[in-house]
Structure formats: C-alpha cells, structure tokens
Amino acid sequence: MTAPVAIVTGGAGGMGTAIATALLDDGFRVALLDRHGVGPAADGLSGEVLGVAADVGDEDSVRAAVACVDDTWGRVDALVNNAGIEPAHTVSDMDVGLWQDTLRVNLTGPALLMKHCVPLWRRQGGGRVVSIGSRVWLGGGVTPAYSASKAGLVGLTRVAARELGALGVTVNVVAPSFVRTAFNAQKADPAALDDYADRFAAAAPLGRLVEPADVAHTVAFLVSERARTITGEVIHVAAGTQLAPTIR
C-alpha cells in the first residue's frame, strides 16, 4: 500500500515539526513548506520528509509547491494549514499593510493551498484539510488582524467543507489556546512570557497549558480514517479557555 502524503505549512516552526512528527509516526510522508525553507528543523524527523520553500500567500509560489509535491510523490492526502503570523497592533494604531499581510498569510494562504490541491483530490478521490486556527476566533484576542484572520478561517472551512465534500474531502479547524513555541516566544521577554503562561494556565479549567503535541495528535486524528465523517468543525484544543470565565 502506498504511504499517504501530507503537506504541512509553517513547517520550520515548533508547531509544524510537532505535527510532522505525529504524521510521520502514523506512516505519512510529509512535505514541509516554509517561506525560507525548512533547514535544520527537519533534521530531527524520522521518515520521508520533503522540504519546500514556499510563500503561502503568493499563488505562483503555492502552485509551484503543490506541483513539487505531486511530482515527487504523486498525491496529497492531507493538507495542514499551519503557517501564520501575528504582528502586534491595536485597532487605533493599525497599519493597513500589516493588516493585509496578516490576512494574506493566515487566510488567503489556506484558500490558495486548497485551490491548488483540488485537482489532486479530484484525481485520487478524496483528501483531508486541517487548518490551525485559534481560540481567539471565538473570544477575541489582542491583535485585530490575527483574530479576524482566524475567524475568517472558520468561515472558509465551513464553505470548503460543503463544496469539497462531493470529492470526498473533509475540512476542519483545530483551534489551540496559548502554546509555548518560538512563535509565541517572540512576543515578550522570557520573564514576562513565563508570567503570562502561569496566569493563562491558572485561568484554564484544566489548570494547564496546551502543548504542541496536543495539537499535533488532534490533527493526526482528523486526517485519519477514524475521522472520515467529521467535517466543517472547529475542535478547540484549549484546556477549556475557549469557555466563558468562571465567575465566583
């Protein structure tokens, strides 16, 4: 039996490599897409890994990346839209260019990847899409463009689930809460980040932070046959922080 193939965007980051590890453990061949290539991020991975430099917000780049995976392995069974950016800003100081760039990567990127995988899914008779969202789509966050992009991703997912279901494609979102990764480490100095993480964990009903492996295992389930009838859903992997706070 031919091993299935997964594309994971944002493949050079901590979340991307955690997702790749889970999929490799499940027998996938994994193409890691990242704007500047994957580099040493793939060195610790065990299995068939293909690194592809790609800007997910640029259609020519996406087209070439999907073609590279198709030329190499002849199929794409799972698409994991993990790439994302979150530049700091508020509504009152928002720069239009920053807003547009955030939506280009976080929302246009997943749409373009789906678009260019459709011919492969039509040819092979199905596929899986999992996009990494955020709990902020529901409760709001501190950066308007990021929160808007993640809310938009849910809308895109539900439309795509309806359209692509006839091709045998499921489309879902995994929405984590705060996770200790390099992506989040850049937002503050280590001491401030430690304090935020402690307060965040204390506010969670489960009293703990989400780890990259928690997100990765949920992705692995959604791309498996065990989840073949789940589509158009948002799965919160947030230790309960997507819920309204408890009033005591």
Determine the Cα angle at 43 with ends 127 and 48, to 5°. 35
Q: How far apart are CA 211 and CA 214, in angstroms?
A: 5
Strands (E), 64-193: 78-81, 127-132, 169-176
Backbone φ and ψ for 50, nearest 5 degrees, come out as -120, 125
Catalytic residue of the set 117, 146, 161, 235: 146
Burial per residue of 51-79, b for 16 or more beta-carbon CB atoms within 10 angstroms, e otherwise: bbbbbbbbeebbeebbebbbeebebbbbb
List beta partners, residue 51: 32
Strands (E), 152-233: 169-176
Residue 196 among the catalytic residues: no
Burial per residue of 92-110, b for 16 or more beta-carbon CB atoms within 10 angstroms, e otherwise: eeeeeebbeebbbbbbbbb
Do residues 109 and 153 touch, judged by C-beta distance below 8 A? no
Q: How far apart are CA 6 and CA 36, in angstroms?
A: 19
| Token pair for 80 | 């994991």
Residue 161, amino acid:
A
Nearest to 102 by CA among 112, 92, 89, 93: 89
3-state DSSP assignment of residue 6:
strand
Catalytic residues: 146
